[in-house]
Copies of this chain bind each other. A is one copy, B any other.
Amino acid sequence: MRSEARSIVRPRGMWRGLAVLVVGVGFLSQATAAEPLPSWHDSPARTAILEFVERTTTPGSPDFLEPAARIAVFDNDGTLWPETPLPFQAQFVVDELKRLEGDHPEWKENAAISAALAGDVTGVLRSGPGQGMMLLEATHAGMTVDEFNDRVRRWLDTARHPVWNRPYSDLAYQPMLEVLDLLRDHGFAPYIVSGGGADFMRVWAEEVYGIPPSQVIGSYGKVRYELRGDKPVLVKEGGIELIDDREGKPVGIHRFIGRRPVACFGNSDGDQAMLEWTTIGHPPSFGLIVHHTDAVRESAYDAHPPATGTLVTALEAAPRRGWIVVDMARDWKVVFKPVAEPTER
């Protein structure tokens, strides 16, 4: 392209300088437009992601994958956005209990709900087995799916994260948004595969990540269809049909996608089974773990102490399995999207 332009234009003097400038600016803007993963430091993790995408999508490469095989799965909490101090869905439960407690005087007698309203997580756990599920059902069941969607939407529109003081939907990890874009630009279909509730995530996954509802796999409960009068409704009932966590993740992947993925991104031992299912004996494939090491910009919580850490066995397995470990403190230039400044004139 550049040599062709040179041979046709044959620039002289000022015109030559202008032509060089035009070509240079063209090259520069092309390079800028093509610069992938700009929020990542030049690191082994960034290089590994770029290399995997290149060798699986370059025609003629021995590792070339047909577009139909380009399936990438992402855990959500702790991988695409934070899970501290509480997973966001747990914060939604607490906020909903607060919003609704005036209508439920009987909740005052309930130890688990009282603990949740006081923000006392260990109090909820101490209140007895199955109490977490009871809290979920109090806020997620006994309503139509449309009513539930409206509740999640209202919460997203009004709640702010207690630490970062931003709407929850504003807290996606910028470097991971860039991974999603890179993969989509190369024909990959990204799926969320999360222990979180599918109905909860589907309300916002498209606007936050660009991932449509049909590509959001999560835990789900029973749903009942009925004609109410002459209006068809789906009612969310209690009970869990799939816990899409740990060994449940490959099950969810099989049930919803029906193919083995080729790329898997997680952050905890809960993602180890899907990292295995994606990568072991299944080349070319890619596994990556987001390791929460950044006590300044986010929270360094995952691997210590090992007895209660959320990332222990998967981190230990990573070198043997060839999974890439991202050190958030070292590898990411930014954690969140920059806050949009109010424009002043």
Contacts and interface: CB of A to CB of B under 8 A. Distances in A.
A254 B223 contact: yes
B232 A280 contact: yes
Contact of A225 (B145, B202, B277): B277
Contact of A214 (B145, B241, B258, B280): B258
A234 B214 contact: no
A247 B224 CA distance: 8
B234 A251 contact: yes
A13 interface: no
A212 interface: yes
A198 interface: yes
Given A231-B281, A254-B234, A255-B220, A225 B212 contact: no
Contacts of A227: 276
Interface of A is mostly: mixed
Chain A: interface size category: 35 or more
B259 A145 contact: no
A296 interface: no
A20 to B, nearest CB: 40
Interface in A190-244: 198-199, 202, 212-214, 216, 220, 223-227, 230-232, 234, 241-242
A255 B213 contact: no
A257 interface: yes
Contacts of A202: 258
Nearest to A222: B251
A256 interface: yes
A50 interface: no
A340 interface: no
Contacts of A276: 227, 232
Q: What is the copy number of this chain in the assembly?
A: 2
Contact of A241 (B241, B248, B250, B273): B241
A31 interface: no
A314 to B, nearest CB: 13
Interface in A15-67: none
A255 B198 contact: yes
Contacts of A280: 230-232
A68 interface: yes
Interface in A280-314: 280-281
Nearest to A149: B258
B214 A259 contact: yes
B256 A214 contact: yes
Interface string A115-146: 00000000000000000000000000000010
Given A250-B232, A276-B232, A280-B232, A256 B256 contact: yes
Given A224-B247, A247-B225, A254-B234, A213 B145 contact: no
Contacts of A214: 214, 256-259
Cβ-closest 10 pairs across A and B: A213-B258, A225-B250, A225-B247, A202-B258, A232-B276, A232-B277, A214-B257, A223-B251, A232-B280, A234-B254
20 contacts: A145-B254, A202-B258, A212-B258, A213-B257, A213-B259, A214-B214, A214-B256, A214-B258, A224-B251, A225-B251, A225-B277, A227-B276, A230-B280, A231-B281, A232-B250, A232-B276, A234-B250, A234-B251, A234-B277, A241-B242
